Structure 1
Amino acid sequence: MPTKQSVYKNSSRREYDISNEKRDEYRKISTESRLAKQAAVQGLHKPLHKVNQPNLDPNTLMPQLENNGIRALSLFSGGGGLDLGFDRAGFHHVASYELIPICKHTLNSNRPNWEVHGGPDDGDVTNIDWKQYIGLVDVVQGGPPCQPFSIAGEQKGLDDERNMWGEFNRAVNTIKPRAFVAENVMGLLNPKFQDFVKKYIIDELADYHIVKFEVHASDFGVPQIRRRVFFVGFRNPSDLAKFELPEPTHYKGHLLSKKSSHDLFSANKPKTMGVREALGLSNIGFDNLAPTIRSGFTGKRNTTSVLNSSAGQKSWGDMGIWPNGVQSSRQKASEFPAKNKHFRLSISDVGIIQGFPEDWQFSGAVYQVLGQIGNSVAPPVAYHVAKNVAKALS
């Protein structure tokens, strides 16, 4: 069992092992960026872009539903992606548990009436006696840390001390809720983890009838390429029989080039906006979904970049958007010119790209906010999964 200190250290940042050449390159880029930012602060730059007014309000992707009386307990709550989705779907919030302290501030500031346990002392799930929640919880939901199964996290699986599936299972098996919802990266479906899924998820949760399925965030109006896997389990097989996989609410118009039955099927659905349209940027003749947003808690320490790969760099560039040096506000982003006259993102813009409405305010420095956003489930995705779980339990 990993110590809470080691888990906490590795949940927020890992050693970045690079060559001296790459380190020098990053230092040069950092220096150039720092000098450019200083000039912006001093007002030496003329803004290249007006402060943008977004066209997408993610609240419209998850209309608030009436309280359904179903009680949900949140584990590994992070910045609140699952919690917000369940909240908008009408669930009653019982409590949230999260190891990283700044996330507690985010959850408390947005929902002061919620019971939030955060930090190594209060939010460490390895120390919680879940018996206190027996009979008080209908659904346990959470996203056990995904790094053990992600490419960025080196896919060490069971050998990674950040693997918390055992703790998620312990909570479920102790509380015995009517259902559970767990989310993770697509890497968990890699054939190398087939035995892990069977032995440490399916078998350990043997009292539950489980369905696993893939979800694309863009199918629910989120302007980002983001695929995730969900595990949903029900104690009663009749509840599972009533559970329906979430049906896409939007279509990705840029993928439909020829008239087909799929076009006719999609005609009754709104199109998922591209990033430029969603953020209210000018029409340059090209728009697309954002590459998968990375977490500011992984890779280079204290990073303010959302860039996930070299392929992602080209995709952002084709849209005329700069994915590095994200700023704390749109005003500051406007005053800080990016290379090639590209549009510079603010944390509010990144939140929208992830499906967070602007009335959900994140606490912390920019890199901490990006960490919370990048680690989160897209709230509209959580919302539609939660809605279908509620229908199955009704």
Structure 2
Amino acid sequence: MMRSVELFVGAGGLGIGISKAGFKPVAVMDWDRWACDTLRENKERGLEPVRDWPLHEGDVRQFDFRSIVETVDLVTGGPPCQPFSMGGRHRAFLDSRDMFPQAIRAVRELQPRAFIFENVKGLTRSSFANYLEYIRLQLEHPDVVAKLGEEWLDHLARLEDHHTRGRTQGLRYRVIMRVLNAANYGVPQRRERVFLVGFRSDTQVEWHFPAPTHSRDALLWSQWRDETYWDLHRVAEKHRPDGGAGKARAMGLSQKPEALSWRTVRDAIADLPDPELQPARAHDFHDHRFQPGARSYPGHTGSPLDEPAKTLKAGVHGVPGGENMLRRPDGSIRYFTVRESARLQTFPDNMIFHGSWTETMRQLGNAVPCELGRVVAIGVRDKLLLS
């Protein structure tokens, strides 16, 4: 079995995906108490695959990666993304929460055969272009370390010189980057994340990101052409939305798409009772409680039941209502429960989360969907097995 190290694990979305792809973590770490409490409780309950995770709670900046004696095949993680989030303060390299330097240090000290790092799409904003290139070049040449007191732009220039000289000595990685939409890989949520994947140069691996398996057009076809979607969910015609632009697009398709259908909110939660309308039945499901106070306002109108959810958000000050709400076909709204949000992030149904509703939604809103992590990790695993 191949070994991995998972940084900034949070509630475990990417880590669960990595483990399900067949990697055995030799170290899993995060500094957040609530997230670590979530993982500890699920470890104690024997939940696969977190049951055997060697969890380290603390500041990664204080962790000695050379204390890991096993050979590491893969380093993964989502360095805290607040500096780059579209909803954050956009401070990037001036933000002390930027943990990419620690991710790069882990690669330098562990020298894994490959790594997978992810972050929010906001990292690709034009205003961060130079810093993103700085991150990429450091990952390609992790042993070209910044000198004491060296400004990052000076270090970037030195990395550019080193890179263009084309030297083959030293620790080198071949790095590629792409923004992936989780909905295109079977996750019931439109969630875009940027992935940076690298292979150590001596592996001689040729690799590309996995092709999408699901599509919007396939969903629209199933809703408005052959209507199998409504039949599956037993939705009478009078209870269906009018379709609008989606229906018009479906009618313009010349043939049935070969891809699988995007998964919708209804696909994800149809078997769960509505916690507002059926509170007694909802109590049979863990973390499935009605949360009052949802409100709609321009630009934040919730996620329609028959589309993939909008991106779940963590928020800087609590949870922004419109991004974490369900919009029923009749136009009424309510917050997603923790259990529903976990479904939208493809966490295991028997996983429980620690903290208040707001704190738990923060953990979920910061997570990578488990299924998206698994799909990317399987592609990396298959190449490593052949190298």
TM-score by length of 2: 0.69
Aligned residues: 289
- What letter is aligned with 2:173? Y
What is residue 150 of structure 1 aligned with on the other side? 85
What do residues 213-255 of structure 1 show as CA deviations (whole Å, max 9, x unaligned)?
11111112211110011000010365431x2311222222135
What is residue 251 of structure 1 aligned with on the other side? 215
Measured in 1, the distance between the counterparts of 2:252 and 2:82 equals 41
Partner of 2:257, secondary structure, is helix
TM-fit CA distance, 1:345: 2.7
Equivalent runs, 1:228-307 vs 2, <5 Å: 228-236=193-201, 238-241=203-206, 243-252=207-216, 253-254=219-220, 257-258=250-251, 260=253, 263-266=256-259, 269=260, 271-280=261-270, 287-295=306-314, 298-300=315-317, 303=318, 305=319, 307=321
Match of 1:391 among 363, 367, 382: 382
The answer to whether the Cα contact below 8 Å between 1:165 and 1:201 also exists between their aligned partners in 2 is no
Equivalent runs, 1:366-377 vs 2, <5 Å: 366-377=357-368
What is residue 102 of structure 1 aligned with on the other side? 34
Call closer, same or farther: CA 1:239–1:369 in 2, change over 3 Å: farther
Measured in 2, the distance between the counterparts of 1:232 and 1:308 equals 33
Match of 1:139 among 65, 74, 77: 74
What is residue 33 of structure 1 aligned with on the other side? none
Partner of 1:234, secondary structure, is strand
- What letter is aligned with 2:316? G
Call closer, same or farther: CA 1:204–1:391 in 2, change over 3 Å: closer
Measured in 1, the distance between the counterparts of 2:379 and 2:41 equals 28
- What letter is aligned with 2:85? S
- What letter is aligned with 1:106? T
- What letter is aligned with 2:55? V
What do residues 331-352 of structure 1 show as CA deviations (whole Å, max 9, x unaligned)?
xxxxxxxxx4x45532101111
The answer to whether the Cα contact below 8 Å between 1:150 and 1:187 also exists between their aligned partners in 2 is yes
- What letter is aligned with 2:321? L
Q: Report the RMSD for the aligned CA atoms in angstroms.
A: 2.5
TM-fit CA distance, 1:308: 5.5
Q: Which runs of 5 or more residues in structure 2 are unaligned?
A: 43-49, 142-171, 221-245, 274-303
Partner of 2:52, secondary structure, is coil
Q: Which runs of 5 or more residues in structure 1 are unaligned?
A: 1-68, 322-339
Match of 2:11 among 79, 90, 93: 79
Call closer, same or farther: CA 1:286–1:134 in 2, change over 3 Å: closer
Call closer, same or farther: CA 1:261–1:170 in 2, change over 3 Å: farther
Equivalent runs, 1:55-70 vs 2, <5 Å: 69-70=1-2
Partner of 1:169, secondary structure, is helix
Measured in 1, the distance between the counterparts of 2:329 and 2:200 equals 47
TM-fit CA distance, 1:80: 0.1
The answer to whether the Cα contact below 8 Å between 2:338 and 2:360 also exists between their aligned partners in 1 is yes
TM-fit CA distance, 1:260: 4.0
The answer to whether the Cα contact below 8 Å between 1:221 and 1:272 also exists between their aligned partners in 2 is yes
Partner of 1:245, secondary structure, is coil
Call closer, same or farther: CA 1:139–1:308 in 2, change over 3 Å: farther
- What letter is aligned with 1:74? E
Measured in 2, the distance between the counterparts of 1:287 and 1:237 equals 47
What is residue 49 of structure 1 aligned with on the other side? none
What do residues 119-166 of structure 1 show as CA deviations (whole Å, max 9, x unaligned)?
xxxx21111111112543111100001110112212111011111100
> Is 2:349 the counterpart of 1:346?
no
What is residue 190 of structure 2 aligned with on the other side? 225
Measured in 2, the distance between the counterparts of 1:87 and 1:168 equals 19
Equivalent runs, 1:120-131 vs 2, <5 Å: 123-131=58-66
The answer to whether the Cα contact below 8 Å between 1:274 and 1:287 also exists between their aligned partners in 2 is yes
Measured in 1, the distance between the counterparts of 2:305 and 2:69 equals 53
The answer to whether the Cα contact below 8 Å between 1:209 and 1:237 also exists between their aligned partners in 2 is no
Measured in 2, the distance between the counterparts of 1:131 and 1:205 equals 20
Structure of greater relative contact order (alpha carbons < 8 Å, 6+ residues apart): 1
Measured in 1, the distance between the counterparts of 2:59 and 2:131 equals 23
The answer to whether the Cα contact below 8 Å between 1:239 and 1:393 also exists between their aligned partners in 2 is no
What is residue 107 of structure 2 aligned with on the other side? 172
> Is 2:384 the counterpart of 1:365?
no
- What letter is aligned with 1:213? R
What do residues 34-83 of structure 1 show as CA deviations (whole Å, max 9, x unaligned)?
xxxxxxxxxxxxxxxxxxxxxxxxxxxxxxxxxxx110100000000011
- What letter is aligned with 1:251? S
The answer to whether the Cα contact below 8 Å between 1:183 and 1:228 also exists between their aligned partners in 2 is yes
Equivalent runs, 1:35-50 vs 2, <5 Å: none
> Is 2:98 the counterpart of 1:163?
yes
Measured in 2, the distance between the counterparts of 1:159 and 1:262 equals 51
Measured in 1, the distance between the counterparts of 2:59 and 2:16 equals 21
TM-fit CA distance, 1:183: 0.3
The answer to whether the Cα contact below 8 Å between 2:66 and 2:109 also exists between their aligned partners in 1 is yes
Partner of 2:205, secondary structure, is helix
What do residues 5-49 of structure 1 show as CA deviations (whole Å, max 9, x unaligned)?
xxxxxxxxxxxxxxxxxxxxxxxxxxxxxxxxxxxxxxxxxxxxx
TM-fit CA distance, 1:263: 3.7
Measured in 1, the distance between the counterparts of 2:208 and 2:86 equals 30
What is residue 212 of structure 1 aligned with on the other side? 177
Call closer, same or farther: CA 1:85–1:306 in 2, change over 3 Å: farther
The answer to whether the Cα contact below 8 Å between 1:221 and 1:249 also exists between their aligned partners in 2 is yes
